[in-house]
Chain A
Amino acid sequence: MSKAAARTIQVRFGGVGGQGIVLCGRLLGKAAALFDGKDAVCTQSYGPEARGGASRSDVVVSEGRVDYPFVTEADVLVAFFQEAYVKFRSALRPGGLLIYDTALVHSVPDEANAFGLPATAIAEELGNRLAANIVMLGFLVGKTGVISREAAEEAIRATVKPRILDLNLRAFDAGYSRAQAEAAA
């Protein structure tokens, strides 16, 4: 990995419209840019493909300045849906980290850098399956440290409606704690 690349992390979230892919990207970018003192750019797929087909959200986070705003080679791919996994797996660099929802992504080869978690089931236990995206985000942050936990929580507080804030913070914690527990194991 080159010096410049070491200071830059490219994350792609892939799923279908309605799964909160765009929110995940925005929260990660916002946390990095506003609460972690980093530079971050977030872009998203736009147009017909955003409705129904595989949709994506790209975040590039850097200690330096982010010039090119799109993911060229993902360090992390977060797959929310089988179709998105198939479409975007080639964007993941060799040795890159794959995070996926075990309920919605199948046929993932058993690789050292692939981590499945039942995000939808975890979110359902917390009271709303729609929070699965934040469970995934928590797991991503716990696994990679691309942003601090505090910055992520600040971004969630600054973004989601008060009515669902507690649910989202708990969802983040569930994902984050799971990643930490795996690391400790």
Chain B
Amino acid sequence: MPDNAAAARVPAKKPSRVLTGTHFMVGDHACAEGALAAGMDFFGGYPITPSTEIAELIARRLPPLGGRFVQMEDELASIAAIIGASAAGARSFTATSGPGFSLMMENIGLAAMMEVPCVIADVQRASPSTGLPTMVGQSDILQARWGSHGDYGVIAYCPDSPQECFDLTVRAFNDADKYRVPVFILLDEVVGHMAERVVIPPAEEIPIVRRKGPNFPPGERRFLGYAPDDDMVPPMAHAGDGYKVHMTGLTHDEKGYPALTPEIHDKLVNRLVDKIRLHASEIEMHEEIALDDAETVVVSFGCTARSARHAVNEARAEGISCGLLRLITVWPFPERRIRELIERGKVKRFIVPEINLGQLRREIERLTQLPVLRLNHAGGAMLKPDAILELIRS
């Protein structure tokens, strides 16, 4: 009997949502597994290099788990679909790269304004425009913060390994629900395509935080969909739950109805910014290596931080006083920690290596008069440890 006939008789194993165990996995797949482990149940996307592996894996894994995978006609539709799905109660997700991220910007503003939680993975490639589709870039950093028009708060993670792709994607879904914001996972092509050890914990050890809902049954009284609690985040009712739900990109009152006055607008937009800004200490994450006595502080993120870590460790072995501040959230930016380091008076200079022409450097420069040395490349290849080491030695 042929092997495949024998295999067909074996009852199909029930697919598991959480692939508990130790894997050797690329970052894109770890990101997709993180989304599944976090309970993601709707994906709307349009494949684009170097993020396609995320959509591919979810297309295969999500439907048997009871979720929906929809390949949309483009990225405008993808972001609209995940906002709609989330408004109906789904944990929704899409994955893209720079060109698609640009197309999503208008509706990312809509998600921020309507406070609809959603998660967007942007696997960065060399940009602008179509750029180098298969090669690495880190140039969507400021776009993630400021890409849509107007003021609003966002959260953006920058994993430096497949393991972090998994861990931070889980966190992204939790934060999106907790703060009712769009959350970005800014991978880069190197991290997305490199295979490394990934440990996926048992399902019960993966923390799941879901959005708050109304604390009374439908029909009891009027539910105010945009009346914030003390944490500045309003509870969210879903379309179909039985509550009156109205959402609009127009400036709105607590009922969600258009209310076009300067006073209401100012209050609303300030809250959209403050609900992230005032929770920054809970959201913000970074890793430190030897910062306490460092005269030279290297600030880095994503794949570049791997080169920076190597360079800093080598330099310290040579007796040079230096340390690494690796941003895990690039937004919120770890402004307080950087101010502390500056105020302590030991730091003499910063070095900011990044695969763009100086986007993160501007954030440091606005905090200090100290020299901020740059190491930039427009994209296509990783910055090498030796180049960073040379700058540390200088």
A interface residues (Cβ-Cβ under 8 A, vs B): 4, 26, 29-30, 33-34, 39-44, 46-48, 66-70, 72, 162-163
Contacts and interface: CB of A to CB of B under 8 A. Distances in A.
B29 interface: no
Interface string B304-334: 0011011001100000000000000000000
Given A39-B197, A68-B382, 12 more contacts: A26-B24, A29-B195, A30-B24, A42-B195, A42-B196, A43-B193, A46-B134, A47-B133, A66-B196, A67-B309, A68-B307, A69-B194
A41 B134 contact: no
Given A26-B24, A42-B194, A67 B306 contact: yes
Contacts of B385: 67-68
Most chain B beta carbons < 10 A, residue from A30, A40, A67, A162: A67
Given A33-B24, A41-B196, A42-B24, A162 B3 contact: yes
Contacts of A68: 306-307, 310, 382, 384-385
Interface of B: 3-4, 22-24, 50, 133-135, 189-190, 193-197, 303, 306-307, 309-310, 313-314, 382, 384-385
Contact of B197 (A26, A40, A43, A47): A40
Contact of A34 (B50, B133, B197): B197
B24 A29 contact: yes
A43 B133 CA distance: 17
Nearest to B162: A41
B24 A69 contact: no
Contacts of B197: 33-34, 39-40
Given A44-B193, A47-B135, A67 B307 contact: yes
A57 B133 CA distance: 19
Most chain A beta carbons < 10 A, residue from B135, B197, B313, B384: B197
B23 to A, nearest CB: 8
A47 B24 contact: no
B190 A43 contact: yes
A112 to B, nearest CB: 29
Nearest to A59: B195
Contacts of A29: 24, 195-196
Contacts of A34: 22-24, 197
A72 B384 CA distance: 9
Most chain B beta carbons < 10 A, residue from A41, A66, A162, A163: A41
A163 B50 contact: no
A30 B195 CA distance: 9
Given A30-B24, A68-B382, A41 B194 contact: yes
Given A46-B134, A47-B135, A69 B50 contact: no
B391 to A, nearest CB: 16
B339 to A, nearest CB: 28
Contacts of B303: 69
18 contacts: A29-B24, A29-B196, A33-B24, A34-B22, A34-B23, A40-B24, A42-B24, A42-B195, A43-B194, A46-B134, A46-B193, A67-B307, A67-B310, A68-B310, A69-B190, A69-B303, A70-B382, A163-B3
